[in-house]
Every structure is written in C-alpha cells, then in structure tokens.
Amino acid sequence: MISAVLITGTSGSGKSVALRMLEDAGYLCVDNLPVRFLHDFIVNSKKDGIKRVAVAIDARSPNDIAQLPDALQAVRALGVPMRVVFLDANTTTLVQRYSESRRRHPLTDRIATDTGQPPSLHECIATERELLGQLRDQEHVIDTSGITPGQLRAWIRELVQIDPLPIVLTFESFAFKSGAPIGADLVFDARCLPNPHYDPALRPYTGRDPSVAAWLESNPLVGSMVDDITQFLRKWLPHYAQDTRAYLTVAIGCTGGQHRSVYIVEELARRFSDHGQVLVRHRAQPGPDFVPSVP
C-alpha cells in the first residue's frame, strides 16, 4: 500500500517546512505539482513500487486549483488513502512572514493580468483564501500562526504517523587553541582535567591509546566529567528529538585536542553505542612525534 500525503494551504503558512520534513522521512516529494498531473503521478508511483509520496499543490497551480477536490476523489477511488493537510495562518502572520522573506506573493502577476493593476499583499491573500476555501472546509487544517518550524514539523510527523528517526549523534574532539568547531551544538571544556601531556612517557600518544586511557581513568575527576556529560545527554536527547533534529554534534575540547578530549569522545561514543547512528571525529592532527596505537 502506498502512503500519500498532500500538503496545501495559503502561501507563507509553512508548506515548504512540512514538505522538507516529509522528504527527510523518506517520502518522494514534488512541490508545486499541477492538479492535472496528480492522478497520473500516484498511478505511476504505485507501478514503480514507491511506498511514500508527498506533493504540494496550492494556488500556484495554473488555473486548475478548483479541480483539486475532484482530483483527490479520483485518487482515493484508486484505493489510495491520500491524507490532505491544509496549512493556514492569520493574515497578520502571513504579512509578517512576507515582510521578513521579502518575497512576492505567487498570485501577484495573475491578479495583475486579470485586473490590469498590481494588487496589494492583502488582496493576494484574500484572493488565495477564496480559491482554496472549498478545500479548506473539507480537509484537516493546521493553523501555523505563532508556532515555530520545529513545532510544525513535529505536528506533521504526528499527523501522518511517521516513526521518528534517531538523531545522528556525533562526538567530536578538538583543540581550543585552534578554536571550537562552528558546527557544534554542545561544547564541553575538558581543560580543567589533569593533562597527560606533561608526562613525557604519554605525550606522544593520544586518548585512544590504552596507556593514556588508563592514566585518565585513574583520576576520579575525569570519570566525574564523563558521567556528568552522559547524564546531561541522556536527559536532553529526547527533547532534541522532539524538536525533529536530524543531527546533534557534541564537541569536547582540551588544549591540544590530543589526550583528554579524545579519550572523553571515545568513552562517550562507547556509552551511547546503543543510541543508533553514532559518529566519532577527532579534529586535531597528531604531532610529529606521534606514535600509533599498538593493537
């Protein structure tokens, strides 16, 4: 059975946000599909064995938006339970969003051609509401006024019953002397911990080597920091997931990015190995006296 979703509604109400969320969830997505192609698109998708499709159709569709209710009925007659989500927002919110994006309303040129004069934004919004009025009365409506894109993504996910994908969790070590990585979401500073660099026998190695790891593990402060970061992430990871994030990068820094931060990153990756997809990255390059780990 194919799963089909139609995203429609007023321009500026969040259709692009909803469609991108569905695309991230594995849906084959088509934006601004003309109404006359909807039936054939669904039929061909079924023939090709595609399991999830989503389309966005709205007043941009040239001269045939009034045919959308009939097109939906034809699709459902195929046995395809197409779910329709109508996004809307109050006029004040739509005007504010257009002001922030500085984009023109998609009906501007069409109304200007019909009337012989350029319309105001309020006129465009009113015309669009009239064109979509019948569809709005028949389908599920989400009012996006005053909600964040993250909330909208979560609501769409819940409405179409998409199983949430686990966040790709990245642990990354770095050297503060080179600056914190720009893409880090959470940054922890390990420079307050004892430094193996000052032990000549350990200096050439990294936090991945057993000798350095054993040295760090022997100090209770190191274990306390790893425990604290672990507890923090265990508590807050579900909340990041509710924000429909796809990635979360946790960066651990120390002075040179070779010993303490590397060890903590490796230990955290081990503790969160049951999370799903966990990536490990070490930014700092070993020095010229680096000695590889002994298997």
Domains (range + CATH), the chain: 3-159 (3.40.50.300), 168-282 (no CATH)
- Given the structure tokens 């700092």, which residue do they identify? 284
**Alpha carbon separation from 246 to 126, 166, 169, 232, 239 (Å, rounded):** 36, 7, 9, 19, 12
- 95 contact partners, CB below 8 Å, separation of at least 6: 121, 122, 125
Per-residue DSSP letter, 48: T
**Alpha carbon separation from 74 to 43, 89, 272 (Å, rounded):** 11, 29, 48
Check residue 227 and give its pLDDT.
98
Check residue 235 and give its pLDDT.
95
Is residue 176 predicted with pLDDT exceeding 60? yes
Residue type, 257: G
| β-strand partners of 250 | 171, 186
* Backbone φ and ψ of 246, nearest 5°: -100, -25
Check residue 287 and give its pLDDT.
45
Is residue 61 predicted with pLDDT exceeding 80? no
What does 50-76 look like in DSSP terms, one character per residue?
Answer: --EEEEE--TTSTTTGGGHHHHHHHHH
Averaged pLDDT for residues 186-210: 95
Quickly state the pLDDT bin for 80 (edges 50, 70, 90): confident
Total-model pTM: 0.65
Check residue 60 and give its pLDDT.
77
- Given the structure tokens 């809307």, which residue do they identify? 88
Is the separation of the CB atoms in 230 and 167 below 8 Å? no
